Structure 1
Amino acid sequence: MKLTRSIYLILFPLALLILLISCEKMLEVDVPTNELSSDAIFEDVQTANAALAGLYAKMRDNAPLAGDESGALLGIYTDDMDYYANPVTNSSFDLYTNTQIDTNTTVASYWSEAFQVIYIANAIISGCEKSYSLPVTERNRIRGEALLARSIVLFYLQQVFGDIPYPITTDYQVNQVLGKTESGQVLGKLVADISIAVQLLPNEYRSAERIFLNRKAGEFILAKIYMVQQRYSEAEMLLKGVADDPMYMFEQDLTKVFIKSGKHIIWQLKPQNSSATKEAMLYYFGNVAPTLYALSNDLIQAFPSADLRKNNWMATSTFNGNTWYRSAKYKNRQPGNDSEFSIVLRMEEVYLLLSECYVQQGRLNEALPYVNATRQRAGLTSLQQPIAKETLLNEILLENRREFFTEMGHRFIDLKRMDRLGTLISIKPNWKNYHTRWPIPQKEILINANLKPQNNGY
């Protein structure tokens, strides 16, 4: 079932939610088989949770966080992956070569799929706000999950496109003329919305599998936005709160990082029907030449020979005398997968953000244990004082690259936060300064002139 691709859907929220609920059973909720009434959607916890299941499914399948091509795009756009598909003009290949224009179909799909998630989240938020029969605790929790999910997707859109619309309603008459909000103001709105979500959400997970958003996930996302805003003391407080919570634990065994049961996991997305993760299937290509993605030589060279991640999280394929590296973080490609989910947020990122936060505040001694945690686990020597601030920031950026390659655009987000996207010009010959943002899809501007002006360079 494919939904119309546009932010300006002329659909009622209830109809969209019913469609998603009827298609999705991956979260093992009891979905009613009969047609749902509007009262049932918003006044019954079971059906409200089913609506949330549809939201999580959409995030898993077609959104910036999806483990499929959506999550890979920023990897080929930067310097972590090479792209071997046929060079079709105006598609993903142009993102790989940094030659995208405003009619690029992949860019348009990324935009529209993300706004579909936002639309669904808004429908759930609206349903909760209008409900008088849902228990207050459940109403708050459901609203909080949807609000945080919406904020996560909007954060990705802000990072990729800059100034974007910030829809908070399902009213198409409002959305079809909605203008762009300036990038800094988007971050401010996200801080306000996530702060509300954090207050609404419980600390406890409603599933031992950690497939639903909770308060600590909200605090983590809020800390990431504070880092972008350079509000380091506020980010530090939130990150320390996550790092010190006994519910979580840094995973010391490199071979267990991508096992779904780890206490280092803050949030993950469950594959549909116990299938393999999208990452396990997408990046695998056996002993043949790659036809989609392979790890770039630049990434491979970023790993010292002693780094255990190179042996555990990568695999080689040799064909006709040529050798390529592929991501092998997720290894279970069999039906009936019960060991791996797609991890979105994990403690290793908390540690590296915390180390960066301390360095930015001039507290290098406090930063070292957090950046050294992933280094030591990978078999690398610890960084020691004396070390210059800029040198340590470079090491943290490098450690992020080694730790999070092929994980949902991590490299792009890190480079942008640390104002290092310009360094790509030495690796990618077509990189221009304006490539820090993608173009607003032309078809969206044709529908809504309030999305003008187009991003610089396009």
Structure 2
Amino acid sequence: MKLCRIIDIINMLVVGIVLYLLMGCENMLEVDTPSNQLDAGQVFENVQTANAALAGLYANIWDNSPLSGGSQGSGALLGSYTDDQVCYYSSGETSGALDLYNNLQIASNSAVYMYWSSAYKEVYMANAIIEGAEKSKSLPEAEKNRIKGEALLIRSILFFYLQNVFGNIPMPLTTDYKINQFLSKTPSVEILSRLESDFRESANLLSDQYRSAERIFPNRKVAQLMLGKTYMLEGKWNEAEGALKTIVSSPLYIFEQDITKVFQKSGTHILWQLKPKNTNDPTLEVQTYYFSGASPGLYALNNDLIGSFSAFDKRRQNWIAPVTVGQNTWYRADKYKNRAANPTEYSVVFRMEEVYLNLAESLARQNKLSQALPYINYTRLRAGLSALTGMVSQQTVLEEVLLENRREFFCEMGHRFMDLKRFGRLSTLTAVKPNWKEYHHQWPIPQKELLLNPNLKPQNNGY
């Protein structure tokens, strides 16, 4: 997090805006070719250039961030860090991912540093957009609120992921490098409190209406989902229930009953998805997880995950592909299908299945067990499994929620790590991860950051 380089980041943002304008990004109205100089103040003088600033942020999120479907995103790194995937990187610049898989990470781990630095770069971009919208004297009030709401939501989601992975973290809320370069870590309890406030604010600033029919920009319901997830981390189960029920009751969303259509971009069960940079490009998930040769690619699914499915589970049949060569059989994630021309798939960030399972957990934590069961059964029944019915214990319901989350969301957004952490179950990884230690519930603060800013000390325990 090279805070003293914020000016470079803003310059990069401005250059990105010009490029997006020239390319007609997001199917915006055609404009005259802008001059080759566009200062940060001008960016927020009209809606089109302000939207281009947001487009640059979303492009970065898609390409390399905790939300990216690529090899440096949470799905890949946290999936192999836990027990969902096996990492087959060999050596060299990719050894950081291999060390994470083997639970041998140190403070100089390259993948850890990339995860941290890419997230903070995007936090700074979001801060620049927030400040620009707030200072604008010409943006219509409704557009100003929407632009600020989207950027605030993105910043808060990034902080949410950073807190889950690193624990206490710095929270830069401005582009002022004089402040940012000396920030100390904020305690997690304060981070979650701030996230509560910011997710509520972004929900108030945004509307339920998507500004694209393809749902490639988050709306109020995404903010309410994140508010519910924050409440869950705080153990505020009744508040989480309330936030999640506002989404369940929305007419915007319909549960997808066809297992083969869950990852098609047209689904009305999708809350938010990321669009590839170029039309018809494959998703980054396909590029990361696909292999068919004599050995796996970057990642294969862990046999422990495969064993969590029954043979009759439609998710095993449709979302997992066995690859057999000679005497060896590996399994690859096969949720996204299009490897060449891709007219039907974007990278799903949040979908209704998560809302249902989070609501089931929130209800079960309050011993509202009969109310929780229908929300678990949505995914079970679609997968061809029998419904949970009758008198069941709280422990049984919670165990099923954890198991359904694993079977439903493998290779998606770091679900397994975050679910096990929230349940206090990360230590169970010792059964399949021989190098797992208690302190691995957090990653180390990157050594480069500690050298740049001693106020980030002390290093996380164990590193």
TM-score of the aligned structures, taking structure 2 as reference length = 0.95
Distance in 1 (CA, whole Å) between partners of 2:362 and 2:96 is: 37
Distance in 1 (CA, whole Å) between partners of 2:273 and 2:249 is: 20
**1:319-362 CA distances to partner (integer Å, 9 max, x unpaired)?**
13201110110001113x22000000100000000100110000
Query: Which residue pairs with 1:307 in the alignment?
Result: 313
- 2:171 and 2:185 in contact (8 A); partners too: yes
Query: Which residue pairs with 1:84 in the alignment?
Result: 88
- 2:127 and 2:151 in contact (8 A); partners too: yes
Taking a change above 3 Å as real, the CA distance of residues 282 and 92 of structure 1, as seen in their structure-2 partners, is: same
Query: Which residue pairs with 2:7 in the alignment?
Result: 11
Distance in 1 (CA, whole Å) between partners of 2:27 and 2:285 is: 22
Equivalent position amino acid for 2:80 in 1: I
Query: Which residue pairs with 1:294 in the alignment?
Result: 300
Equivalent position amino acid for 1:63 in 2: S
Q: Tell me the CA shift for residue 40 of structure 1.
A: 2.2
Q: Tell me the CA shift for residue 6 of structure 1.
A: 2.9
Distance in 1 (CA, whole Å) between partners of 2:310 and 2:318 is: 14
Distance in 2 (CA, whole Å) between partners of 1:196 and 1:159 is: 21
Distance in 2 (CA, whole Å) between partners of 1:102 and 1:190 is: 27
Aligned with 1:422 (options 402, 427, 430): 427
Q: Tell me the CA shift for residue 27 of structure 1.
A: 2.9
- After superposition, residues 231-242 of structure 1 pair within 5 angstroms as 231-242=236-247
Query: Which residue pairs with 1:259 in the alignment?
Result: 264
- 1:7 and 1:116 in contact (8 A); partners too: no
Q: Tell me the CA shift for residue 8 of structure 1.
A: 3.8
Query: Which residue pairs with 1:389 in the alignment?
Result: 394
Query: Which residue pairs with 1:320 in the alignment?
Result: 326
Query: Which residue pairs with 2:353 in the alignment?
Result: 348
- After superposition, residues 19-418 of structure 1 pair within 5 angstroms as 19-24=15-20, 27-29=26-28, 33-34=34-35, 35-71=37-73, 72-88=76-92, 91-274=96-279, 275-335=281-341, 337-418=342-423
Q: Tell me the CA shift for residue 173 of structure 1.
A: 1.2
- Secondary structure (helix, strand or coil) at the match of 1:206 reads coil
Identical residues among aligned pairs (%): 55
Taking a change above 3 Å as real, the CA distance of residues 8 and 421 of structure 1, as seen in their structure-2 partners, is: farther
Q: Tell me the CA shift for residue 7 of structure 1.
A: 4.1
Distance in 1 (CA, whole Å) between partners of 2:418 and 2:96 is: 22
Taking a change above 3 Å as real, the CA distance of residues 165 and 252 of structure 1, as seen in their structure-2 partners, is: same
- 2:254 and 2:269 in contact (8 A); partners too: yes
- Secondary structure (helix, strand or coil) at the match of 1:138 reads helix
Q: Tell me the CA shift for residue 184 of structure 1.
A: 1.1
- 1:7 and 1:115 in contact (8 A); partners too: no
Paired residue total: 453
Distance in 1 (CA, whole Å) between partners of 2:268 and 2:175 is: 37
- 1:107 and 1:438 in contact (8 A); partners too: yes
Equivalent position amino acid for 1:111 in 2: W
- 1:14 and 1:41 in contact (8 A); partners too: no
Equivalent position amino acid for 2:28 in 1: V
Q: Tell me the CA shift for residue 141 of structure 1.
A: 0.3
- Secondary structure (helix, strand or coil) at the match of 2:72 reads helix
Q: Tell me the CA shift for residue 20 of structure 1.
A: 2.3
Distance in 1 (CA, whole Å) between partners of 2:3 and 2:176 is: 11
Q: Tell me the CA shift for residue 281 of structure 1.
A: 1.6
Larger mean CA deviation between 228-237 and 36-45 belongs to 36-45
- 2:10 and 2:125 in contact (8 A); partners too: no
TM-score of the aligned structures, taking structure 1 as reference length = 0.96
Q: Tell me the CA shift for residue 383 of structure 1.
A: 1.2
Equivalent position amino acid for 1:416 in 2: K
- 1:13 and 1:170 in contact (8 A); partners too: no
Q: Tell me the CA shift for residue 16 of structure 1.
A: 2.8
Distance in 2 (CA, whole Å) between partners of 1:27 and 1:108 is: 31
Distance in 2 (CA, whole Å) between partners of 1:386 and 1:10 is: 57
Distance in 1 (CA, whole Å) between partners of 2:364 and 2:245 is: 15
Q: Tell me the CA shift for residue 87 of structure 1.
A: 4.4
Distance in 1 (CA, whole Å) between partners of 2:370 and 2:221 is: 26
Query: Which residue pairs with 2:445 in the alignment?
Result: 440
Equivalent position amino acid for 1:186 in 2: I
Larger mean CA deviation between 99-108 and 153-162 belongs to 99-108
Q: Tell me the CA shift for residue 420 of structure 1.
A: 1.0
- 2:283 and 2:336 in contact (8 A); partners too: yes
Equivalent position amino acid for 1:415 in 2: L
Which segments of 5 or more consecutive residues in structure 2 lack a partner in the other structure?
none
- 1:16 and 1:120 in contact (8 A); partners too: no
Distance in 1 (CA, whole Å) between partners of 2:184 and 2:220 is: 31
- Secondary structure (helix, strand or coil) at the match of 2:128 reads helix
Distance in 1 (CA, whole Å) between partners of 2:229 and 2:413 is: 15
Q: Tell me the CA shift for residue 10 of structure 1.
A: 3.9
**1:259-282 CA distances to partner (integer Å, 9 max, x unpaired)?**
000100000000111200000121
Distance in 1 (CA, whole Å) between partners of 2:336 and 2:381 is: 22
Distance in 2 (CA, whole Å) between partners of 1:10 and 1:202 is: 31
Distance in 1 (CA, whole Å) between partners of 2:158 and 2:6 is: 21
Q: Tell me the CA shift for residue 287 of structure 1.
A: 3.7
Distance in 2 (CA, whole Å) between partners of 1:396 and 1:7 is: 40
Which segments of 5 or more consecutive residues in structure 1 lack a partner in the other structure?
none
